[in-house]
Structure 1
C-alpha cells in the first residue's frame, strides 16, 4: 500500500492539536506527524482547512442506513448499519442487538464473527439484553428478559473468543458478582444498564469487573441524596466508564454538565448514539419488535418515540453529538473529540484506535471548522 501524506488541516492526535503539520500513513497505519516543509514521497491528500482526527467509535448502534440489527441479525445488516453512519464520521462501531430471542442472539454472534474480519467498520458486537430488569425496560420487551445463567456465561465467553470485542449490557439484578468476574476475566466487557439497583449492588458488580454503564441516566435508578442509585455509583466509582446520549432529548444538558464535572478516576463519560435505522433516512417511522416507532422532528435533532411516548433509541449521529457537546455541554473541541474517539477506544480496549500515534490504525475523519464531516478513511483507504 502506497504511503499517503495528509496536509492542509489541523491534526488532532487524541491529546492535542498539531498546526502546520502533515500526517503520514503507511500500510494502513499512522507512521508519523511531521513538519510540512520536508515531506516524503507518496500520495498527497490536500485538505482545505478544518480538522483531521481519528475516526469516531460508537459502542451502541442499533441501526442505520434503513436497517435495524434486530430485523435481520446478519453480517450484511452490520455492513449496512456501518455504511449508514460513515458519512457522519463513524469508522468503527458495535452493532447492537436489543433484547430478543436466543435465536436472534445466536445469529448476531455468528454474524459478528464474519463482520469483524471485513475491515468495513464493524469492530465487535454489543448485546443489550436480554439480561435486563423489567422495571427499567425502556423500549425493550420485558417478557424476553431473564437472569444470567451459567450456560449464558460460557456462551458469552465463547462468543468473545471468536469475535474479539464483545460488550454486554446487564442489569445488576440479573447477574451475580461471580458471573461478572468470570465474564470480565475472560475479556468480555460488562456494562450495567436497564437496572433499578441500589448503589451498593452496582458497586459490587463494578468491583467484580463491570467496566461501564450503558446510557447514563436513562433506564436506571437515579441519583438521590440518600439513595445514590446506579447513576450515583457510576459517577463516583473511579474505574467506571459511562456512555451518554447527547441529543437534547435523553438527558437535560444541566444533568450532563454536572456528571461531566463530577466524574472521578480513570473512567470517563463518552458519546454513544444509541441510533436507530432512521439515521441517514428521510422516513419518519419504522417497526421495533412489532411496535411502530415514529420520528418527531424538532429541537437539536429529531426524537424517536413509541405510541406511549417512550423514547426508543435516538435519531442522532456521532458528529452531531460532538457539536452538541461543544455547544451545550461547555466542552472544548479537543475533549468532545476525545469523547467520540479516544475514550470509547479505551473503554472497549481497542488500543490501536481512537488516536493518531505511530502504529495506530489510520481510521480518519476530516471535519470542517463547524464540525461537519467531509471525508472518512478506514485503514488509510477512502471510505
Structure 2
C-alpha cells in the first residue's frame, strides 16, 4: 500500500506532502514530494497510532472476563478513538479469579491483539483503594504473586502495587527479575518510601495524583518525587475529572512529554451512554460522562475509572498551556511505547508498524490504520 499524507508527524517533527510505503504491515519507506500514485490519500493531520497502557474496558465490555469476544469488544471500542496498541488492565479480584482472567488474555497477547497484561490489583492500599474492592486487597507475598506470573507465561507487562504493603520490596525485585515493570499506585507511601521503591526497581507512577497521598508543602508525599525523578514515567488521566487542567499542565511541565504517558483508565462505559455499569464486583454509575462508585443505597462515592478514549486525552493535552499537538502525540503514543518496550509501536518511521490516525481540524478521528489496515473511518 502507498499512502499520501498532507501533514504527518514524524519523529523529527511535522512534514508536508509525505509518501508512506507499507509492506507486510510495516513502514517500508517514507519520502517527501511526488512519488508513486497513492492507494490512499490522507488530508488533515496524521499522527502515530495511540498506545494505551492502562485501560479496563469500553463498549459495555471489560477485560476482567473469561470471554475473549468481550475482550475484543473493548479493543474495537478504543480503536475508534485512535488506539492501535492496547494493554489490558485487570481490576482487583481474588487470586484464583485473576489467574483465570490472565489465562484468557494470554492467547490474545500472543496473537498481537493485545500488547500485554497490567494487574492494577490486588496489591493496593485499603486507604487509597479507589474503585477496587477493599475486602479483596492483599499483600504481594510469593504464594500470591507466583501463580499470577505462572499463568501469564511471560505476557505480564506491569503490576501496580502499594509500597507500604508487607512483601512489597521483595515483590518489586521478583517482578523486575521476571521482566515485569512495576508501578507505584493506590498508596499511602511518603516520599522516602516512594524513593526506596524506585531504587528497588519501580519505574511507573499509576495515574499520578489519583489514589495516592496528596501534596502538602511540609509533607510532600510520593507525588513530587515521582514527578521529578528521571527514572519514573508518570501516567496521567486527561479527562478533566481526574486531574484539573492547571495541574495537568504543571505535571507535564515538570516531567516533560518524554516522561508522561497519557492513559484512559477507561471502564466499560467508554463509548456508551450514561448509565449503570460493573467494575469487577462493584457497581458504577456514569453521569455526564463521569463514573463513580455507587453503594447499595444508591449513594455515589469515589471516581471509578473513566469514560475516556485517547483522542479525547490528546485534544485536552494539546490545548494545555505550553503544549502542542506534537507534544500531546508524544505522550499518547511514543512515550508509553518506549517505556513498555513495545517494538514498532508509537512512532511513524521506517521499520515501525504502520499504525496511524488521521485527524480533522478539531482533532477528531477521521480514520485509523493498524499495521496498514483500516480499523475505523469516520464520516
Counterpart selection for 1:50 from 44, 56, 76: 44
Match of 1:188 among 170, 180, 183: 180
Instruction: Tell me which residue corresponds to 1:243.
Output: 235
- Does the CA-based 8 Å contact 2:25-2:372 persist in structure 1? yes
| Counterparts of 2:258 and 2:142, CA distance in 1 | 28
Cα separation, partners in 2 of 1:218 and 1:144, compared to 1, 3 Å: same
8 Å Cα contact 2:92-2:280 kept in structure 1: no
Q: 2:372, 2:75 → 1: CA distance? A: 17
| 1:136 match: secondary structure | coil
Rounded to whole Å, the distance in 2 between the matches of 1:229 and 1:349 is 29
Q: Deviations over 1:135-169 (max 9, x none)?
A: 10111111100111123443344455432x52111
Partner-residue secondary structure (3-state), 1:172:
coil
- The CA distance in 1 between the partners of 2:235 and 2:120, in whole Å, is 13
- Counterpart in the other structure of 1:84: 77
The structure 2 residue matched to 1:273, chosen from 264, 273, 279, is 264
How many residues of Structure 1 are paired with residues of Structure 2 in the alignment?
Answer: 369
TM-score, length-scaled by structure 1: 0.91
Between 1:213-222 and 1:17-26, the stretch displaced more is: 17-26
Q: Kindly indicate whether residue 189 of structure 2 is the aligned counterpart of residue 197 of structure 1.
A: yes
Q: Retained in 2: the 8 A contact 1:156–1:188?
A: no
Preserved contact between residue 222 and residue 232 of structure 1 (Cα < 8 Å): no
Supply the distance in 1 between the matched residues of 2:125 and 2:321 (Cα, whole angstroms).
30
Q: 1:289 to 1:34 in 2, by over 3 A?
A: closer
Query: Which one of the candidate residues 15, 19, 26 is aligned to 1:18?
Result: 15
Q: Partner of 2:127 in structure 1?
A: 135
Whether the 8 Å contact between 1:14 and 1:342 is mirrored in structure 2 is: no
Q: 1:156 & 1:348 partners in 2: Cα distance? A: 19
Distance 2:282 2:174 in 1: 36
Question: What secondary structure sits across from 2:107 in the alignment?
Answer: helix
Match in the other structure for 2:61: 67
Corresponding position of 2:368: 376
Please give the alpha-carbon distance, in whole angstroms, between the structure 2 residues aligned to 1:135 and 1:89.
35
Measured against aligned partners, the alpha-carbon deviations of 1:313-352 in whole angstroms (never above 9, x if no partner) come to 1111100111111223541110001111001101211132
SS of the residue 2:214 aligns to: coil
Q: 1:162 to 1:303 in 2, by over 3 A?
A: same
How far apart, CA to CA, are the structure 2 residues paired with 1:199 and 1:346? 26
Alpha-carbon distance between aligned partners in 1 of 2:22 and 2:95, rounded to the nearest angstrom: 43
Structure 1 contact 14–53 (Cα < 8 Å) conserved: no
Deviates more, 1:284-293 or 1:20-29: 284-293
1:149 to 113, 136, 141: 141
Mark the CA change 1:283 to 1:259 in structure 2 (over 3 Å): closer, same or farther. closer
Q: Which runs of 5+ in 2 are unaligned?
A: 295-299
Distance 1:329 1:142, change over 3 A: farther
Q: Does the C-alpha gap of structure 1 residues 195 and 15 become closer, same or farther in structure 2, counting only changes over 3 Å?
A: farther
Does structure 1 retain, via aligned residues, the 8 Å contact 2:133–2:281? Answer: no
Distance 1:315 1:336, change over 3 A: same
Question: What SS does structure 2 have at the residue aligned with 1:10?
Answer: strand
- Alpha-carbon offset, residue 178 of structure 1: 3.1
Q: 1:74 to 1:20 in 2, by over 3 A?
A: same
Task: Map Cα deviations across residues 259-313 of structure 1 (whole Å, 9 max, x no partner).
Answer: 112227x96112100111111112522123444311111xxxx211123331011
- For 2:265 and 2:321, locate their aligned partners in 1 and report how far apart those are by CA, in whole Å: 19
Alpha-carbon distance, 1:117 to partner? 3.0
Extract unaligned runs of 5+ from structure 1: none
Residue in structure 1 matching 2:95, options 88, 96, 102: 102
> In the aligned structure 1, how far is the partner of 2:171 from the partner of 2:31?
48
Alignment deviations for residues 59-105 of structure 1 (CA, whole Å, 9 cap, x no partner)? 111111111223x2433222110001111100111121111111221
| 1:231-380 map, 5 Å | 231-263=223-255, 268-297=259-288, 302-307=289-294, 308-380=300-372
Q: Which deviates further from its counterpart, 333-342 or 359-368?
A: 359-368
For the aligned residues, what is the CA RMSD?
A: 1.9
Identify the residue that residue 6 of structure 1 maps to in structure 2.
Answer: 3
**Cα shift at 1:14:** 3.8
